[in-house]
Structure 1
Amino acid sequence: MTTSADEAAEVRAFWGRLGLPGLVDVHTHFMPERVLDKVWAYFDAVGPMTGVEWPITYRFEEERRVALLREFGVLGFTSMIYPHKPGMAEWLNGWGEEFAAREARCLRTGTFYPEPGVEAYVRRAVEGGARIFKSHLQVGAYDPNDPLLEPVWGMLAEAGVPVVMHCGSGPQPGRFTGPAPVGELLAHHPRLRLIVAHMGMPEYAEFMALAEKYEEVRLDTTMSFTDFSERMAPFPPGELGRLRDLGDRVLLGSDFPNIPYGYLHQLESLERLQLGEEWLRAVCYGNGARLFGV
C-alpha cells in the first residue's frame, strides 16, 4: 500500500466528523531498529507457514512512521516494546525512555520479564516517568503469576500505571495465554490497571467478563473487528451489547505499523459496529485522553 495525503485526510475526516481534536492510540510499535527488523521478518514468514499473508503496510523508517501518526492526527501513542528472553527488558526500557524524550506525543513505555532484578528496573522506570508498560505473554512465554513478578504487579497497581498485556490466545495460543492466568493475577491485584490487548482475541467474552468484574480492567481494539481478524477470529455478534456497555473502558489500539491494511480500516471497523457516536468518541479519544491526561 502506498500512503498519501489522501489517506491522512480520510483519517482526519473520520475523527473530525465526531467532533474530536484527534486520536489516542494505546497500541503502536516503535522499538530499536534491529528488533523491529526481526518482528517484520516474523510476519514476512507467517504467510508461507500459515497460508495467511501478513504484509507490513507501513514498512518505513522511524521518522516517516512518526510523521504519519502526526498527519493522521494521533495526539498520543505508545512504543510497545517487549522482551522474549532474560536480560533484554532493561535495555528496551532505556531505548523507550530515549524515544519518548524525542517524541513528545509518545507515552513513555516500559516492559519487563520475570528475572532477577526486575523489581529494581521497573521501579526505576516508574520513578523516571514511564506512563505505560507492555507485557507479552505469548512472545515472552511466561506466567504472569511468576513469583518474580509479584512485586512488580503490586508496584504498578499502587502507582496506577497501566499495563497493556497480550494475553489472549490469538493468533496462536501460548502456554500462559487465555483468561485463566489473568483471572488469577487480578484476584491478587484487583486494582491493577490492566489493558487487554486485541480485546483478548479470540476469548472476547471471557476477557469482557474480567472487565465487568474488575473496574480497572480495560480492553484495546487492536486489530479486532477488522476484515483481516474477522476471517480468523470473528467477534461474536451476541456480545455487542456488552461491548457497548463497557464503552468507557475500551481504548483505541491499532498495532501500527505492523498491520496488513491501512490505518483507516481499524477506525471504520469500529464505526460499522453501529454502537453510536458517543461510544466511538470515547473509544477513539476520550477514554485514552482521560487515562493518560492527553
Structure 2
Amino acid sequence: MKRRIVVNVLLVLLLIFLAGTDVFAQDSLSVAQSDTSEVRLSVQSEIGSFRDFFSFTKILSALIVLIATYFISRFLSFLLSALAETRPSYRLIIKRLAPFINIALWSFAIFIVIAGIIAPPIETILTVGASIGLAVGFASQDILKNIFGGFIIILDRPFQVGDKIEVSGHYGEVTDIGLRSTRIVTPDDSLISLPNADIVNNAVSNSNSGALDCQVVTSIYLPFDVSIPEVKAIAYKAAVSSKYTFLKKPIAVIAKNEVHEQNFVVHLKVKVYVIDIRYEFLLMSEITELVLGELNRKGILIREAKPQKV
C-alpha cells in the first residue's frame, strides 16, 4: 500500500515537471520569436535609413555636383593661366591664386554633397567617418602623406606657383601645386610631377622666392694666361648690353683659377639678374656669345697658349 502511494506521488511530480518544462519551452520560444522580430524590424529600419541616405536621386545629384566642380576648377585654372600670360608684371601673383581657389572650391562642393544632398544625422557621420578613416588610413598611407604635404606647402609656402626650384635633382618652374603632387616644367620642356611628401622631406632650392627676377650665373672657362682685367671688362660690358638683364640689380664678374679637365684655366663667373625667370637660359646664352665673340674679335682666344697640365 505504501509502495503504491509513493509511486503515485512520483507520477504526479513527473507530470508537474513535464508541464513546467513545456510552459518554459513555450515561454522561451515566444521570447525568441519576440527577439527575432525586434532584430528583423531593426535591420529593416537600418536598411530603410541607408536607402534614404543613398538613394539613386541623391547619388546622381552628388555626382553632378562633383563633376561640375571638376570642370569649373579646370576652367578657372585655365582662365587664370591665360590671364597671367597677358599680364607679365602680375603673372606670378595671378597664378598663385589657383591652389587656394581649387581648395576652396572642392571644400565647398564636398560640404554641399554631405550637408545639402545626403544630409545624414550626426551619429551616422561620426560612424561612417570613423570607419572610412580607418580603412583609408591603412589602405592609402602614401596618398595621405602627399595630401598633408600639399597642405604644408600651401600654408608654409617654401615656394609658390611661378618660382624656379630645384628638388631631388630636378630643376624647373612650378606650374601647379596640387593636393597629391607638385608639377614643374624643366628647361627642356618636360613636365615632372613630384610627390608632395618627397618635397616636404627633402631640401628645396628656390631661385627667385616669389620675385619675377632671379640671379643667373654664367660660367665661361678661359685659358690660364688671359688678361683677367680685360676679360672681366668684356664680360661686364656683355652683361650690361644684354636685353634680358635687369639693370636695377647689381652685376658681378668673378674670376677664379681652377683645374678643369686636368688643365689650369680661368673660370669666369658672370652674375646677373634676369628681368623674367623665363629668360634665364636666353640670358646665359647671350652673355656667352657676346663674351666669346668679343674675345675672338680681339684675338685673345686665337693666340697660341701652351696648356698647363696638373
Higher normalized strand content (fraction of residues): 2
Between 1 and 2, higher relative CO (CA 8 Å, sep ≥ 6) is seen in: 1
Question: Which has the higher Rg, Structure 1 or Structure 2?
Answer: 2
Higher normalized helix content (fraction of residues): 2
Please, what TM-score do these two structures have when normalized by structure 2?
A: 0.20
